[in-house]
Amino acid sequence: MIPMLKRILRTGIVSEPPPAALAAEQREVARLGEEILRILGRALTIRQVDAGSCNGCELEIHALNNPYTNLEGYGIKFVASPRHADMLLVTGPVTKNMEHALKVAWDCTPDPKLVVAVGDCGSCGGVFGESYASCGAVEKVIPVDVRVPGCPPTPVALLQGILAAVRR
Amino acid sequence: MRFFGEPIEFEKQAGIGSPAWRGRADDGEALQAFAVAVHRNGGRLAALWGEDRRKGGEGFRLHVAFGLDMGHAWLGLDLPAAHPAYPDLAGIFPAANRMQRATRDLVGIATDGGDQRPWLRHGAWPADWFPLRHDAGGGRDFTNRPSDYDFVQVGGEGAHEIPVGPIHAGIIEPGHFRFSVIGERLLRLEQRLGYQHKGVEKLFIGMNPADGARLVGRISGDSTCAYAWAYASAVEAACGISPPPRGLLLRALMLERERVANHLGDLGALGNDAALAFGFSQFMRLKEDWLRLNGKIFGHRFMMDRIVPGGTALDLEAPALAAIVEQGDAVGREVKELKKIYDEHAGLQDRFLTTGTIDADLARELSLSGVAARATGLILDARVHRQGYTPPAPWAMLGVRPATDERGDVAARAAVRFAEIFESLRLLRELAVGLPDSELRVEVPPVPGGSGLGVIEGWRGEVLVGVAFDDDGKLARVHPHDPSWQAWPALEHAVMKDIVPDFPLINKSFNLSYSGADL
Ligand code: SF4
């Protein structure tokens, strides 16, 4: 217990003193988070759906929950069920094998719902495109509000995309 | 050269990559006999895939790669176009089951018995259409039909089933898990995967080698360096070229940075699943620092597209190398402290110890590789010297020390990750201070008809890529093989007799790739 407390004290709040070169990125994250909170005036709940990604995009979505970005601190929460979600954050090209499941998740999400398509794959099919096994972009399967290109998009780009969607 | 007294003649593959010998089986019986001999001598089934060679007037070819003590034996078996069948190897190597079913789904060559359930084919294309046949066409017009799957039924009083997925709670790839339980106790887990199948192998056909490198780096994003290197190594073996020393060492540097990034993330997530939020935030902070430095010096947080056939696509200057050393020292100090906290945290250890256990016999039986295999005590690491095996450059000169643990549980898989972080940090320092001056890459000459095999020890386990060129020097066939193929069935065994609430923790301790094995 003692070493753990020491560690916590020494680390402090990591979002505070970012290394100089990365300070700009840090400030941008904070600004975006606050703006999302301001526009919504309440918590935003997100259901992430991987509809066929290479898992690279998931790595960056995970990074949104690290102590630097600390999305939860701005009231942005990832939830387990689409029924509790305001927004679907969808990665992939949508595989044919996930087409049905994605439609069901979309149907289960209460209106008004926002859909953000993540990554080059989610936005336009990326390197996988459309094929016998892939429907391509998310918008080929469900309506999309905002696309966040990038392979994978950085955490800052993801936040910008989420912000663009709540602005709508 | 012959193995185990079997009559098949093997020849060593050219180049400085992982040692591999190639041979041809005359018929199914010879293949089967060889598989039995490999199994008897403690070898593994590394990968199995099919190739349509009818365009050149031949039939189909079955490829089977075995992991032996000294390296890989890559065996081809030619099958007639009219009746492409071969003996079921799943009775010898259980890991063959899903690979054989996938091969049937994609190429239309099947075993003459055994499990005939589809694997990657759900309902998107008909059973008599095979995407990897050269005369298949695009196959984009089929109606996507909902499909049933024959799960094995578990009977008995009080037993019931819990289906989970394909969409899971949490930020994770899709797959379906069918649990059979009595009360809280898990009797059985059966996985149904393939939801991430996006037709990658078909996309490779006809690509030039450079485009192939981009695609292979997106088979499993968390292992992009391992895939890019295994692919590059296969292409280089086919072309008879070797990357220059600086390029080679830069590759190793990227691979070890990929290993550390993933291990940091996994250790954090394991803490989180065992209700130690402190561990999660500490490790995620370290991981984020790590990725940010990647972004700064490699121009990409995961180093995608930096390893290319012939060498690397970028160089690191002295300040970048100094930053790597400096960050390595700092992370090493912090992880050491965190390890002490994990080791001494009673609640955490209580969740980790004896949970999700597999032993070395099972690991061997399932042809397991990587972290999960080493966590049962097996010394199995393509970078590490073992009896009869000399690792390829640059590992041989670095003298990589293996991390093993005999307990086979979640605690062991965590311990192996800790030990591997420390060893990778040592390697990173050596690589960064000792980087030789040379070119970064050599030209890749087209080699019509050539083929090669590349094997790299990724952070999860053995990543293997087989490559074949057509007569125009384009890619005729690329088969990328993820270690998750062998590890998914190991997870099915590991959860038996544990309780349902422990599943997320056990699953996390393996942290397998869906995309990598669904292709
Ligand atoms: S956009 Fe890139 S990182 Fe994301 S799923 Fe596609 S290939 Fe992977």
CB contact under 8 A, A97 and B218: no
Mutate to test the interface with B, among A2, A132, A138 (most CBs of B within 10 A): A132
- Residues B380-405 have a mean pLDDT of 93
- Residues B99-113 have a mean pLDDT of 96
- DSSP states along B162-176: EEE-SSPSSS----E
Q: Residues B295-352: pLDDT tens digits? A: 999 999 999 999 999 999 999 999 999 999 999 999 999 999 999 999 999 889 999 9
Look up the CATH number of domain B200-481: 1.10.645.10
> Where along chain B do the CATH 3.30.460.80 domains lie?
10-112
pTM for the full model? 0.95
H helices of A41-86, in order, are 56-63
* Residue whose token pair is 């600004």: A31
H or E stretch covering B128 = none
pLDDT score, position A12: 53
Which residue's alpha carbon is nearest to atom 6 within ligand 1? Answer: A121
* Pair A94, A121: CB distance under 8 Å: no
Beta-bridge partners for B480: B465
Q: Residues B473-489: pLDDT tens digits? A: 999 999 999 999 999 99
* Pair B239, B447: CB distance under 8 Å: yes
Of A130-144, B10-24, B140-154, B442-456, minimum mean pLDDT range:
B140-154
**Could you give the 3-state DSSP secondary structure of residue B479?**
strand
Handedness of CA B348, B356, B166, B368 (dihedral sign): positive
Higher pLDDT: B294 or A38? It is: B294
Number of H helices, E strands in chain A: 6, 7
Beta-bridge partners for B464: B455, B481
B301 is written with which tokens?
């947080």
* Residue whose token pair is 């020491």: A6
pLDDT score, position A4: 62
Q: Residues B37-81: pLDDT tens digits? A: 999 999 999 999 999 999 888 999 999 999 999 999 999 999 999
Of A1-10, A145-154, B282-291, B447-456, minimum mean pLDDT range:
A1-10
CA of residue B198 to ligand 1 center, whole Å: 12
Percent of chain B at pLDDT > 70 equals 100
Q: Residues A115-150: pLDDT tens digits? A: 999 999 999 999 999 999 999 999 999 999 999 999
Specify the fold of A42-167. Rossmann fold (3.40.50)
B24 is written with which tokens?
């041809």
Q: Residues A67-97: pLDDT tens digits? A: 787 787 778 888 888 888 999 999 999 999 9
> Where along chain B do the CATH 1.10.645.10 domains lie?
200-481
Beta-bridge partners for A44: A76
- Please tell me if the CB atom of residue B218 comes closer than 6 angstroms to any atom of ligand 1: yes
Q: What is the mean pLDDT of chain A?
A: 86
pLDDT score, position B276: 85
Distances (CA, A) of B104 to A1, B98, B202: 55, 10, 14
Handedness of CA A55, A57, A61, A67 (dihedral sign): positive
**Could you give the 3-state DSSP secondary structure of residue B197?**
coil
B5-9: long-range contacts, CB 8 A cutoff, minimum separation 24: B5/B37, B6/B30, B6/B33, B6/B34, B6/B37, B8/B34, B8/B75
* Pair A84, A119: CB distance under 8 Å: no
* Residue whose token pair is 């074949």: B468
Q: How sure is the predictor about A9, in pLDDT bands with cuts at 50, 70 and 90?
A: low
pLDDT score, position A20: 52
pLDDT at B443 over 70: yes
Q: Rounded CA gap, B512 and B48, in Å?
A: 19
Q: How sure is the predictor about A16, in pLDDT bands with cuts at 50, 70 and 90?
A: very low
Q: Which of B124, B166, B265 sits opposite A133 (nearest CB)?
A: B124
pLDDT at B411 over 70: yes
Percent of chain A at pLDDT > 90 equals 52
Q: Rounded CA gap, B101 and B99, in Å?
A: 5
Q: What is the mean pLDDT of chain B?
A: 94
Domain-by-domain residue ranges, chain A?
42-167
CB contact under 8 A, B195 and A101: yes
Q: Which of B203, B219, B281 sits opposite A67 (nearest CB)?
A: B281
State residue B343 phi and psi, 5-degree precision.
-60, -35
Mutate to test the interface with A, among B119, B171, B203 (most CBs of A within 10 A): B171
pLDDT at A15 over 50: no
Q: Residues B210-242: pLDDT tens digits? A: 999 999 999 999 999 999 999 999 999 999 999
Which residue's alpha carbon is nearest to atom 2 within ligand 1? Answer: A151
Which pairing describes strands B475-481 and B462-469: parallel, antiparallel, or unpaired?
Answer: antiparallel
Q: Rounded CA gap, A66 and A64, in Å?
A: 6
Q: Rounded CA gap, B413 and B493, in Å?
A: 15
* Pair B171, B490: CB distance under 8 Å: no
B10-112 under CATH 3.40.120.10, yes or no: no
